[in-house]
């Protein structure tokens, strides 16, 4: 019995993750343990949150080139204001989310290219982070460190959190009625507008969700690193885009997969460890990660061609 191309495409993110995980277990058998798995996926949660933030933007056919710098702002706030003056820190984080919502409204109302606007905002976020935390330091709140280092029995906390987040976002965007409308903004905005739904409101909702996931990413990151740095997450911009695409999402048409995006983020997290076990120099690891992404995209292209030929 042959597997349909569509079914194979759906399982491609899980297959990619399983392949790299098995390869790591083969190269380093000591990772086949609670401690080993926890160490491998230690940074997967903040990357997954950043990937989901990017996915929200891609859902409405936009692209966010500032999410990495935004996560850096959140990390800087979390390591300073949130720790020293919690109320001011919470207000600052809410202001960041509102800024993302306003950004979505501006892009829609003025019909501005999201790539240009978010690229410009990346410099603003980076400058703001440097103003808050000019040099690496600060300290994450105790309660945040306790959450991120919480040890659950049998399965590491990070794996459980990733599963819960993936299922929740999948239900919100893929199964709920309002999720269909939000995805429709990227797939067929004309039909959504004719049905009486506001494109502006929908876009603001998606940008607000992106801001929320960006905040969660920054907080999760400093909960793990225990200190802040304005430049701590600049790589997250490219990683988040790669995670969405690796997980089965596409740049147009509102075609996204929340579960796939989380699996893509987990795969990218493991890639660094996999390349390290192969003793590949860190200078070459970014290029190697890009090569893995190209291979997956090539497989998807072959699958799409097989689907269109039927």
> What would the mean pLDDT of 233-246 be, rounded to a whole number?
89
The band of 96, judged by pLDDT with boundaries at 50, 70 and 90, is very high
> What would the mean pLDDT of 74-78 be, rounded to a whole number?
94
- Write 168-175 long-range contacts (CB < 8 A, 24+): 169/52, 169/258, 169/262, 170/257, 170/258, 170/259, 172/258, 173/59, 173/256, 173/258, 174/257, 174/258
pLDDT of 128 higher than 90? yes
User: Alpha-carbon distance 212 to 235, whole Å?
Assistant: 19
For residue 206, give the nearest of 178, 227, 229, 232 by alpha carbon: 178
Task: Look at residue 234 in the predicted model and tell me its pLDDT.
Answer: 87
Tens digit of pLDDT for each residue in 212-225? 999 999 999 999 99
> What would the mean pLDDT of 96-121 be, rounded to a whole number?
94
Picking from 159-163, 200-204, 299-303, which range would have the lowest pLDDT averaged per residue? 299-303
Helix, strand, coil tally for the chain in percent (to 5): 75, 0, 25
pLDDT of 285 higher than 70? no
pLDDT of 98 higher than 90? yes
Task: Look at residue 1 in the predicted model and tell me its pLDDT.
Answer: 46
For residue 45, give the nearest of 163, 184, 158 by alpha carbon: 158
For residue 273, give the nearest of 51, 71, 48, 43 by alpha carbon: 43
Burial of 194 (0-12, 13-18, 19+ CB in 10 A): exposed
Answer whether 80's CB lies under 8 Å from 254's CB.
no
Task: Look at residue 8 in the predicted model and tell me its pLDDT.
Answer: 60
> What would the mean pLDDT of 159-165 be, rounded to a whole number?
94
The band of 4, judged by pLDDT with boundaries at 50, 70 and 90, is low
Task: Look at residue 279 in the predicted model and tell me its pLDDT.
Answer: 76
The band of 30, judged by pLDDT with boundaries at 50, 70 and 90, is confident
pTM more than 0.95 = no
More confidently predicted of 11 and 199: 199
């Amino acid at each position: 019995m042959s597997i349909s191309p569509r079914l194979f495409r759906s399982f491609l993110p899980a297959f990619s993750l399983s392949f790299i995980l098995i390869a790591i277990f083969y190269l380093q058998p000591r990772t086949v343990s609670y401690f080993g798995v926890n160490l491998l996926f230690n940074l997967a949660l903040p990357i997954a949150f950043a990937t989901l933030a990017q996915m929200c933007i891609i859902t409405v056919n936009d692209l966010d080139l500032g999410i990495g710098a935004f996560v850096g702002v959140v990390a800087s706030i979390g390591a300073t204001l949130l720790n020293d003056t919690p109320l001011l820190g919470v207000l600052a984080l809410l202001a960041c989310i509102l800024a993302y919502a306003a950004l979505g409204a501006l892009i829609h109302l003025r019909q501005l290219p999201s790539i240009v606007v978010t690229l410009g905002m990346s410099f603003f976020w980076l400058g703001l982070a440097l103003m808050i935390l000019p040099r690496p330091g600060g300290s994450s709140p105790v309660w945040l460190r306790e959450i991120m280092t919480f040890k659950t029995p049998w399965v590491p906390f990070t794996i459980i959190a990733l599963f819960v987040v993936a299922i929740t976002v999948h239900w919100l965007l893929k199964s709920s009625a309002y999720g269909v409308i939000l995805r429709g903004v990227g797939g067929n905005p004309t039909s959504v507008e004719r049905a009486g739904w506001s494109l502006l409101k929908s876009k603001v909702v998606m940008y607000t969700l992106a801001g929320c996931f960006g905040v969660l990413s920054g907080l999760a990151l400093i909960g793990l690193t225990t200190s802040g740095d304005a430049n701590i997450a600049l790589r997250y911009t490219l990683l988040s885009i790669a995670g969405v695409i690796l997980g089965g999402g596409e740049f147009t048409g509102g075609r996204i997969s929340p579960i796939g995006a989380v699996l893509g983020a987990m795969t990218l997290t493991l890639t660094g460890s996999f390349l390290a076990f192969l003793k590949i120099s860190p200078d070459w690891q970014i290029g190697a990660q890009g090569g893995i992404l190209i291979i997956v995209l090539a497989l998807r292209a072959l699958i799409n061609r097989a689907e269109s030929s039927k």
